[in-house]
C-alpha cells in the first residue's frame, strides 16, 4: 500500500487544492492531507480547526482513501509518522517550482527514502491561490468558483462588502 501526504496550510482550501487531492487519491492507495498547525512563515486567517472543518466539507464524497491530519513537525517526520513514501505537491506556476525545488532538496537530505511527486494544476485552477482568494474577498469580490461553497460563505462572513481589507473578528 502506497501512502502519500499532501501538506499545506489550506488557508483557505481552494478548488485547486481539491483538484490535486482528488487526482492524488486516484494514484495512491491512501492520501493524508496534512494541515500545518503552526506555520512558521505566515499567520493564518483561519484557525487550524476551521481549516480542517473546511477541508472535510470540501472533500466530502471525493474519495474514501483520503484522510486529514494536523501536523506541527517537519514534513518528512509527518510522512514517517504515517509511513508515507511520497510527498505530493501541487504546482501552478513557475515560481511554485522554484520554492518546491528547494524544499525537495532539503527533504531529500533529511529523508532520502521519501519521494516528492508534483501534480500540475489544470488550467482552470492554475491561477487560484489562497492568498489571491483572500485578497479578492477582502475587497468584497466574488470568490465563488475559486473555492468550495463553504469557504466562499465563510469569506463573505469575514469580509462584508466595503470593509476594504479588514476582516471582521469573530466577536464582531
Alpha carbon distances (Å) from 157 to 4, 28, 43, 121, 138 = 34, 36, 19, 28, 11
Single out the catalytic residue among 42, 72, 122, 131: 42
3 close to 82: Cβ distance less than 8 angstroms: yes
The SS3 call for residue 8 is strand
Single out the catalytic residue among 17, 30, 89, 158: 17
Single out the catalytic residue among 23, 51, 89, 92: 92
The shares of helix, strand and coil residues in the chain, as percent rounded to the nearest 5, are 40, 20, 40
Query: Catalytic: 163?
Result: no
Query: Catalytic: 109?
Result: no
Grid coordinates standing for 49? 480547526
Query: Catalytic: 89?
Result: no
**Alpha helices in the chain, H assignment, sequence order:** 15-27, 48-59, 75-81, 94-110, 130-138, 149-158
Single out the catalytic residue among 23, 89, 130, 158: 130
* Active site members: 17, 42, 92, 130
Amino acid at each position: 500500500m502506497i501512502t502519500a501526504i499532501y501538506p499545506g496550510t489550506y488557508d483557505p482550501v481552494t478548488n485547486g487544492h481539491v483538484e490535486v487531492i482528488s487526482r492524488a487519491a486516484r494514484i495512491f492507495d491512501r492520501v493524508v492531507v496534512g494541515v500545518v498547525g503552526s506555520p512558521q512563515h505566515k499567520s493564518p486567517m483561519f484557525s487550524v480547526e476551521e481549516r480542517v472543518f473546511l477541508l472535510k466539507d470540501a472533500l466530502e464524497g471525493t474519495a474514501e482513501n483520503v484522510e486529514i491530519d494536523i501536523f506541527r513537525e517537519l514534513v518528512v517526520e509527518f510522512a514517517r509518522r504515517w509511513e508515507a513514501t511520497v510527498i505530493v505537491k501541487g504546482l501552478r506556476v513557475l515560481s511554485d517550482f522554484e520554492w518546491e525545488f528547494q524544499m525537495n532538496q532539503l527533504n531529500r537530505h533529511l529523508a532520502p527514502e521519501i519521494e516528492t511527486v508534483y501534480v500540475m494544476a489544470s488550467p482552470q485552477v492554475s491561477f487560484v491561490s489562497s492568498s489571491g482568494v483572500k485578497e479578492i474577498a477582502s475587497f468584497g469580490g466574488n470568490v465563488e468558483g475559486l473555492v468550495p461553497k463553504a469557504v466562499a460563505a465563510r469569506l463573505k462572513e469575514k469580509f462584508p462588502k466595503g470593509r476594504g481589507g479588514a476582516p471582521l473578528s469573530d466577536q464582531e
